[in-house]
Chains A and B, each alone.
Chain A
Amino acid sequence: MSVITSLRPRRGRNVELFLLIFAVGIVVLAYVAVEVATHDAIPANLATQGGGLLAIALAFHLVLRFTASYADPLLLPIATLLNGLGLVMIHRIDIAHGDSLGEGSALRQLTWSALGVAIAIAMILWLRDHRTLRRYTFLAGVAGVVLLLLPLVPVLGHEVYGARIWIKLGPFTFQPGEVAKIALAVFFAGYLVRTRDVLSISGRRVLGLTLPRGRDLGPIGAMWLLSLAVLFFQKDLGSALLFFGLFVAMLYVATERIGWIAIGLTLAAAGAVLAYQLFSHLQVRVLLWLHPFSAQAAEVSDQLARGLMGMAAGGMLGTGLGRGRPDITYFAESDFIIASFGEELGMVGLFAILFLYILLVERGLRTAIGVRDGFGKLLAAGLSFSVALQCFVVVGGVTRVIPLTGLTMPFLSAGGSSLLANWTLVALLLRISDQARQPIADAVVQDRVAAR
């Protein structure tokens, strides 16, 4: 005689707790390694600092335990680990620049991290069901475009080394593109879930590809123009690539039609060729990309060359944290933080960091597959893919896969806007994954509660 018992589904909160402690442990060890290498001493207030970090992480964990108990257990530990490692590296470069804890970028980054976590927690608490966001589709669209174009406003806009992707308000600088990324992902998801039927069914077959009708080309055309505007006026190849790639990917997921990708790639190639012909600064970027060590390149900028030399100096195993010279490269704590890690942690360390991102993106895509509603699927897939694409654009730029652009590495690079945006992104993924992973019965109950 058999007894039927219903198994409690695995929520994974204890796994998350264990991994969180593990992540904080690694960060603390890295911090100690830096201090021992540079000051020959273990930091005096290590317990307070490590404890503080753990407290922040645990607070987030508890919020999840009570309000999103089915959320993916890997997302938070990975984000914590990346954020923490970034902090350690920024602190390490502060030391090399001779800045103390108070005056360097590390303290600012820590403050932004705490703020980022707070906003993420607020997001989890406020947004009980991600489908709520669908209501704000067009608001998000307008907000995204405005944020994206904000740096072009004469007084607000602020140009840093040729790229006009910053706004400056008094002492604060902000990269609105990072937040625009999320707003646009929400907009695309909401818009595409509505129009996907039209965009996917109608069309003609040409050479084995189903191409859309001319009148349906409006959205992709508009997005293309917007990306080109970003490229032309803000001179930022990375952002243009990121937004256009994100849109095409989401369009493909929504319509399941390869034809859109073909059109997207054609438009991207056309835009790239056009921009290359028109803009000398892009030609310079391409020169630096193809011949970073040439005398010609050295006259313009030896940043990429220095970054590559740093990575080569690190070799397989790296110099050890605090024992290399990452500060020789400009922007070693932001755009080139990957080269800094490559130098001090070596190829092996960089592999580990890249695998963390792979895992993060993969958990996000799994969430997209698991979640039941179309909006959630598109949003989760879009957000995850944007992280992957951003990693590719940044790391690819530093490692000469593509020309160098001015984007930040999610969670690692110094920069407040980037941190806020990426913590928000993780909060959204956590919220969607909570629904993706909960058993159907629970979900139905929740839907009824929500409907009331």
Chain B
Amino acid sequence: MNAPIRRLSTLVAVLFATLLFAVTWIQFVSARAINDLPGNTRSLLASYNRERGSILVAGEAIARSTPAKDELKWNRVYPMPTRYAHVTGYYSFVYGPGGGVEGAENSLLSGTSDTLFYRRVSDLLTGHDPVGASLELTINPAAQAAADEALGNQRGAVVALDPSTGAILAMVSHPSYDPSELSAHSSSAVEKAWTRLLRDDGDPLINRAIAGDLYPPGSTFKLITAAAALESGKYTQDSVIPGPAALKLPGVTTPLPNHDGQPCGPNDKTTMLHALVISCNTAFADLGMTLGPETLRDQAAKFGFGQPLKVPMSVTPSVVPAGMNEPNTAQAAIGQFSVRATPLQMAMVAAAIGNDGVVMTPYLVRRVLTSSLKTIDETSPQTLSEAISTGTARQLTTMMKAVVAEGTGRPAQIAGVEVAGKTGTAEHAPGAAPHAWFTAFAPADKPKVAVAVVVEDGGTMGSEAAGGLVAGPIAKAVIEAVLGS
């Protein structure tokens, strides 16, 4: 019977080897993946036991950890909760970190990131309690305040960028919420707040500036159509193009009308410059059809459409659909049909025009700091793409200056500062008031800020000027705040 006993011991060895393998698999190979699973209470408890890094704006914390007296050792405190809600996000014991930088840079804030590895080792050796890294943001507090106050009770979003770097100077989405409610330690209170926010028909948890359902960009998209035309080399700002009161579209019975039902110039003709100044629909729709759908799509892509970005929060890519027919293309050229954009994307378009045609990658985190505020890492501005030539950028700037000086963008005029901008009135549902858009940069010759504003249902049907009237002053307030600080 000894031979089978020996074979049995081989079987025992195999059984135990399987167990050793399984243990290695769980505790070594896939440990990190399991630790990062949502709802992992241990990871969350561990992170609450470590002092989480602060989120700083101009040296002031907009999110910081303070010692607590219950089972979780730290409270997460947001000194200006609603103003920065969509920037900071929340740090919830129940739902995990999310909604903004808290979620997107969780590993840095909690101190578990690989880039902090050597610091962790030295903390371990010196016996310090490990502390998460702090993040200094690019937000300009004056611009953020101006955007928040100017948007007020209206639903919508504001994004401001530094055109030469891509640094995000303001990011506001209304309605907002109070992240402290979600970051409280009482799970029943947190769950109640969460359910209430989810049920709110204003969708306060959604950051409209970079995500959500996106908006049709309306007439602000004419900047891209114009850019494509100028880039083709066949047009200049003075080119004469058709601009009838209504444009007949091939195969469609209803023609595409101008907002005021008037032709854009004598003999149904206009110039590129004038068409942009009065935001002539027929001229740009016709231009779009002449250029073709792929040219429009390519130009939009060069500005960043269709590209997933992380700022560090994930940005929903803006869309110009593929495979459009002629009537679709005509609609798309004026920012309708299925064209959708984030306010961030439209701010990037304005910023690129102001920055000699170069799109800078937008970013929100300027520096990663230790708890003693020493710099660990600093973001260096990066070029995302070269959307248009310098010449095209100059011509577009001239045209946009005219929009504010004498056209639909007059509400954004600032004494002593040349503002270049473009209004938009985007229809999104039959019968509903259109969304009001405004995108601009200033000072026009050497821009310090580019801004995009959208106010939901803020426009007036049939009025192109409404976009400027509603969204223009908000953009103006943000520009003034940046230039004044």
Contact = CB atoms under 8 A, between A and B. Distances in A.
Contact of B19 (A314, A315, A378, A396): A396
Interface residues of B, number: 36
Interface string A137-161: 0000000000000000000000000
Contact of A378 (B1, B3, B30, B40): B1
B31 interface: yes
A374 B4 CA distance: 13
Contacts of A354: 16, 19-20, 23
Given A328-B42, A399-B22, A358 B34 contact: no
B45 A308 contact: no
B12 A351 contact: no
B1 A374 contact: yes
Interface in B27-73: 27-28, 30-32, 34-35, 37, 39-43, 45-46
Contacts of A306: 41
B41 A365 contact: no
Interface in A290-331: 293, 298, 306, 308-316, 324-325, 328
Interface stretch (A22-30, A46-54, A116-124, A387-395): A387-395
Contacts of B12: 358, 361-362, 365, 384-385, 388
Contacts of B32: 312
Contacts of B22: 395-396, 399-401
Interface in A234-277: 249, 252-254, 256
A310 B26 CA distance: 10
A312 B30 contact: yes
Contacts of B43: 309, 313
A256 B4 contact: yes
B24 interface: yes
A242 B461 CA distance: 77
A395 B20 CA distance: 10
B484 to A, nearest CB: 50
Given A309-B37, A315-B31, A377-B5, A399 B26 contact: yes
A27 B41 CA distance: 29
Given A309-B40, A374-B1, A378-B1, A399 B23 contact: yes
A365 B9 contact: yes
Interface in A338-356: 342, 346-347, 350-351, 354
Interface in A351-383: 351, 354, 357-358, 361-362, 365, 368-369, 374, 377-378, 381
A315 B27 contact: yes
Main secondary structure of the interface of B (DSSP, over half): helix
A404 to B, nearest CB: 13
B329 to A, nearest CB: 43
A369 B28 contact: no
B15 interface: yes
A385 B25 CA distance: 25
B23 A342 contact: yes
A400 B24 CA distance: 12
Contact of B1 (A253, A324, A350, A384): A253
A131 to B, nearest CB: 15
Nearest to B2: A369
A325 B42 contact: yes
B5 A316 contact: no
B8 interface: yes
B6 interface: yes
B18 interface: yes
Nearest to A326: B42
Interface of B: 1-6, 8-9, 11-13, 15-16, 18-20, 22-28, 30-32, 34-35, 37, 39-43, 45-46
Given A253-B8, A315-B27, 13 more contacts: A256-B4, A311-B34, A313-B40, A313-B43, A313-B46, A350-B27, A354-B20, A361-B12, A369-B6, A377-B1, A391-B19, A396-B18, A400-B26
23 contacts: A249-B8, A252-B8, A253-B5, A306-B41, A312-B31, A312-B35, A313-B31, A313-B43, A324-B42, A328-B41, A328-B42, A350-B23, A354-B23, A357-B16, A358-B16, A368-B5, A377-B5, A384-B12, A388-B12, A396-B19, A399-B26, A400-B22, A401-B22
